[in-house]
Structures are given as structure tokens and as C-alpha cells.
């Protein structure tokens, strides 16, 4: 099944389908993380907001039989210190410029464990790498062992965590070795 997916840049016309996918995937994420769905802004964002993100960021979709099966967004972060939780985070982030940030990563339930998520995150990191990124950042619930394990296997390290949103939210980073 893995080879049947087409990964392409999302189009604004994909916004409604991407929005449905994100809401569905975030329900599983909340259950796996032990958090309420009311704590995630992805659960209440409008289709217009999704369309705006697609228009302004690099958003990818994976398509299977004409339907969106997965999505991920990545954007450059001019000042990664906006993600500082503490002095520990600040020290790390000072050394990772230029940085890119992953958000709204989701795969339909029936396509998980097919390699699609790996393909999406690998493609997103590749985009950052081609743009000269020194690191890629993302947030995830630190209590979600499935996602912590998934990101760890892809080279992301938990840098720090905080609970300002009502749950333990981790900042993960992947350092990218730039060619000499």
C-alpha cells in the first residue's frame, strides 16, 4: 500500500478535506495523550484558517485513490526563541538557526503503520534541509508515547516541556547536518 500514495503540495481547494482529516486524527491524538480535545486549537479552527495556512506555508498532502490520507505543514521560523519554555530551551534554540517548524501532521487511522507518516515527515524534513535549515522543531504531547517514540525514531529529541496549555507539551528538535 505504501507505494500507492502520491505526496504533493496541498492546494487551497484541499482545505475542507484536510480540516476533516485533522479533526479526526486529533481525536485519536487526544485519546492517546490523555488530554481533552478542547485543549487543541486544531479542533476548532475554521476551514478558512486551514486554507490560509495552505496558502502561506508549505503544506503537503498524501493522496490515495483520490482522497487525502495524510497531511503535514512546515514553515521557516525566523526566530526559534519564540518556542522557548525555559533557559534550557533558550540555550538550545540559540544554536539552531535557521530553523523550520512542523505542524498539523496527521494520517488517517486506516493508513497508520503503513509508512505513510514516515514518508510525510521525511519529505517535510527534506524540504527544510534543501532550504538550508540547521534544525526542525515541532510540539507534541509529552504523554503520547506513540508520537514520542515515532519522533524519536526519526531523530527528533525532546528538548524541553511545559504545561501552559493544560497538558505536558514537549518541544522536539531534529538537528540537520549541513554538507561542508
Tell me the fold of 2-175.
Aminopeptidase (3.40.630)
| Dihedral sign for Cα atoms in the order 115, 121, 122, 124 | positive
Give residue 3's pLDDT. 55
Backbone φ and ψ of 175, nearest 5°: -80, 140
The mean predicted confidence, pLDDT, of the chain is 91
Helix, strand, coil shares, percent, the chain, to 5? 45, 30, 25
Strand partners, 153: none
User: Residue with C-alpha cell 515541532?
Assistant: 138
* Residue 88 neighbours by CB distance under 10 Å: 11
Give residue 179's pLDDT. 58
Q: What is the pLDDT of residues 33-65, one digit of tens each?
A: 999 888 888 888 999 999 999 999 999 999 999
User: Residue with C-alpha cell 538550508?
Assistant: 132
Banded pLDDT at 75 (limits 50, 70, 90): very high
Residues in the chain: 180
Question: Where in the chain are the domains?
Answer: 2-175
Report how far residue 114's alpha carbon sits from residue 132's, in angstroms, rounded to the nearest whole number. Answer: 29
Strand partners, 59: 73
Amino acid at each position: 500500500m505504501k507505494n500507492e500514495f502520491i505526496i504533493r503540495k496541498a492546494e487551497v481547494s484541499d482545505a475542507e478535506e484536510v480540516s476533516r482529516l485533522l479533526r479526526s486524527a486529533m481525536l485519536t491524538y487526544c485519546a492517546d495523550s490523555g488530554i481533552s480535545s478542547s485543549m487543541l486549537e486544531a479542533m476548532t479552527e475554521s476551514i478558512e484558517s486551514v486554507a490560509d495556512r495552505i496558502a502561506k506555508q508549505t503544506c503537503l498532502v498524501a493522496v490515495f485513490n483520490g482522497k487525502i490520507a495524510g497531511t503535514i505543514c512546515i514553515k521557516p521560523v525566523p526566530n526559534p526563541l519564540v518556542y522557548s519554555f525555559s533557559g534550557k530551551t533558550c540555550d538550545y534554540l540559540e544554536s539552531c538557526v535557521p530553523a523550520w517548524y512542523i505542524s498539523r501532521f496527521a494520517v488517517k487511522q486506516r493508513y497508520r503503520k503503513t509508512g505513510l507518516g514516515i514518508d510525510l515527515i521525511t519529505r517535510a524534513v527534506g524540504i527544510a534541509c534543501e532550504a538550508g535549515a540547521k534544525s526542525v522543531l515541532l510540539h507534541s504531547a509529552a504523554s503520547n508515547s506513540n508520537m514520542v517514540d515515532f519522533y524519536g525514531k526519526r531523530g527528533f529529541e525532546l528538548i524541553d516541556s511545559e504545561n501552559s496549555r493544560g497538558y505536558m507539551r514537549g518541544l522536539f528538535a531534529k538537528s540537520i547536518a549541513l554538507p561542508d
